[in-house]
Structure 1
Amino acid sequence: MSIGITNINEVPNELAPRNNGMPLDIEFIRNLRVNRSAVERRCVTHGGRRTVKKTHQAAWLLKSISCIDLTTLSGDDTAARVRRLCAKARQPISSDMVDRLGVKSLNLQTGAVCVFHEMVETAVLALKDTGIPVAAVSTGFPAGLTPHRLKVMEIEDSVAAGAEEIDIVISRRHVLSADWGALYKEMQDFRKACGDAHVKAILATGELGTLSNVARASWVCMMAGADFIKTSTGKESVNATLPVTLVMLRAIRDYYDQTGIKIGYKPAGGISKAKDSVAYLSLVKEELGNSWLCPDLFRFGASSLLGDIERQLEHHLTGSYSSGNRHALA
């Protein structure tokens, strides 16, 4: 049974061109404002206007899989768990399901595997010759309160261990105290320490207070050279939301209009249902266009999302939902 999808993985093999940043414009940042009511109205109606069913839903879910940063960030992580997660990244759905969906030619894989620094070498070895990059969380993740020099060293160590992407956390105090110069300089230092590795700036949006602060932090990080902007660590009380996503996507769109550089976007934390992944993907499509619907410009930071997507795909094929324990990740 083919679902008629031929372009799930027809995307570049490498990430988008690097963002070299631009000079910090303090007045522009200070004058940024977000109409919260308008943003919330837009997001409330989004889900009802954009529903997909049957074959179309299966296609969107396969696209979601290809954009997942499959993640394990627990204190009890072990090398064995990371190797199992990497195996899941290489083959995210069963070979039987691949055959029945008719998508064997797509070589479906997740966008990356995301781990702590201590697990980078294990993940790099497990993913050798697959083309799946390893992302390392860094800079005192999740609080970001490690001394600055140690943050820079942590980035450098992860890059040396083989991480191709670094997910850094910004110092939220710079945003809350409107010290945009300090945030810009911090982000520049992180970008430099990454070298050839791509850098994702985690804003921890649930701790920034207002949507206007989310917009300002997004712009400062992009101006300082971030290749991606990411909502959350997944450890805050409020993580990714559609209103925050809309604000960040429009910042990305405006930055592209000014510079011609495409910045990636990564919602993370609390995205565990297949229907939520479709909501995020369709919002990206509407705000940024089809070119952002690929792993080099869009990622989900998730751990349990893949399991629910598998269940939904099985329901598409059989008409029945399977038990969640049949789709364990690691």
Structure 2
Amino acid sequence: MQTLTTEATQLPTLTHTRNPGMALDLDWVAGVQANTSAIERRAGTIGGRRSVKKDFQAAWLLKAISLIDLTTLSGDDTEGRVKRLCAKARQPVAPWMLEKLGLPGLTTGAVCVYHEMVATAVRAVEGSNIPVAAVSTGFPAGLSPFRLRIAEIGESVRAGAQEIDIVISRRHVLTGNWQALYDEMREMRAACGDAHVKAILATGELATLRNVARASLVCMMAGADFIKTSTGKEGVNATLPVTLTMIRAIRDYQDRTGIKVGYKPAGGISKAKDALLYMALMKDELGHPWLQPDLFRFGASSLLGDIERQLEHHLTGHYSAANRHAMG
């Protein structure tokens, strides 16, 4: 087990060149298409083509923990809840299990909170090397005045957030105003400074996979370090067809520029078996580097509890009640 999981404790610090972006290439954007039936057919095969069992499954699940942005984004968030979230991020699985699995230092990839809770989270993870991510720019709708969205990014960075999850203006995608989307994303990227920026596309509100592909490409051209599916607040969040569309855009961008861009599916990923499907798809399409936390994250909360249950079953042969693996 230990030889299978030695990389699971790698820190999420970027080990490659950040995405500097490029000039907007409207010809490239216009040429992007998405064959929906082919994408859905390919996504539908992943569960039957990739399966890991026993020690290998446990190793993949430990890796999945290191890829989680452990998240709380509720209107009733309190400092106490955020502190418990951060404690769970620092110790995501019962110590006795991690000792048996050979990874006593395992943590999640990050914690993700609203701006108001950034300072609390930064204090709670101090000394752990776990970055704090802040959702910003009028999350989740992204409809507040633009100057306030930019100011919000700056406030979160000054409060200690090392990653900023911004939301794009969906109307720019739906009306095909790629220049406006590019300019918006470029200014948001600049406002983040040294903080890494994840562009949330809210794919469930973009109408077509072609729109998803084009929006992904424009955000990368504008300098997004990650592209992310959803806020978690839409009616439809992360799906395998959307994931396939976005990661193929990432591959095309790397082929053209040589720059690696990360990917974050978010919303609705709550079961360990689902995490394994996403990881298998990433490995198939983009290769091993995209199974590291500097290039792949899950935006999730309840996912961690199910993974912990599966690991306990692996070690003991018994499933425990879900309430024994609470967030904190």
**Shorter-chain TM band:** over 0.9
Retained in 2: the 8 A contact 1:138–1:166? yes
- The aligned counterpart of 1:65 is 65
CA distance in 1 between counterparts of 2:194 and 2:282 reads 26
- The aligned counterpart of 1:152 is 150
- Counterpart of 2:308 (choices 300, 307, 310) is 310
Deviations 1:165-212 (A, max 9, x none): 000000000000000000000000100000000000000000000000
Q: Which moved more, 1:167-176 or 1:251-260?
A: 251-260
Deviations 1:121-169 (A, max 9, x none): 0000011111100000000000010110000000000000000000000
> Structure 1's 149 and 164: CA in aligned 2 closer, same or farther, altered over 3 A?
same
Retained in 2: the 8 A contact 1:169–1:202? yes
Retained in 2: the 8 A contact 1:3–1:101? no
- Counterpart of 1:108 (choices 102, 106, 120) is 106
CA distance in 2 between counterparts of 1:271 and 1:252 reads 21
CA distance in 2 between counterparts of 1:80 and 1:96 reads 25
Q: Structure 1 residue 9 and structure 2 residue 17: aligned? A: no
Deviations 1:195-253 (A, max 9, x none): 00000000000000000000000000000000000000000000000000001000001
> Structure 1's 61 and 244: CA in aligned 2 closer, same or farther, altered over 3 A?
same
CA distance in 1 between counterparts of 2:103 and 2:191 reads 39
> Structure 1's 204 and 243: CA in aligned 2 closer, same or farther, altered over 3 A?
same
Shift of 1:319: 1.1
Retained in 2: the 8 A contact 1:3–1:55? no
Q: Structure 1 residue 41 and structure 2 residue 44: aligned? A: no
Q: How does 1:1-330 map to 2 (within 5 A)?
A: 4-10=4-10, 13-14=13-14, 16-104=16-104, 107-330=105-328
> Structure 1's 2 and 192: CA in aligned 2 closer, same or farther, altered over 3 A?
closer
Aligned-partner residue type, residue 63 of structure 1: K
Deviations 1:91-126 (A, max 9, x none): 10011111122223xx21000000000000000001
CA distance in 2 between counterparts of 1:249 and 1:51 reads 21
Shift of 1:4: 4.5
CA distance in 1 between counterparts of 2:145 and 2:315 reads 52
> Structure 1's 113 and 277: CA in aligned 2 closer, same or farther, altered over 3 A?
same
Matched positions, count:
328
Q: Which moved more, 1:26-35 or 1:185-194?
A: 26-35
CA distance in 1 between counterparts of 2:271 and 2:322 reads 12
> Structure 1's 91 and 257: CA in aligned 2 closer, same or farther, altered over 3 A?
same
Retained in 1: the 8 A contact 2:262–2:296? yes
Structure 2: where are the runs of 5+ without partners? none
Retained in 1: the 8 A contact 2:70–2:110? yes
Shift of 1:31: 2.1
Shift of 1:14: 3.8
CA distance in 1 between counterparts of 2:173 and 2:251 reads 21
Retained in 2: the 8 A contact 1:120–1:162? yes
Retained in 2: the 8 A contact 1:16–1:297? no
Q: Which moved more, 1:11-20 or 1:273-282?
A: 11-20
TM-score by length of 2: 0.98
Retained in 1: the 8 A contact 2:11–2:109? no
Shift of 1:292: 1.2
CA distance in 1 between counterparts of 2:194 and 2:275 reads 29
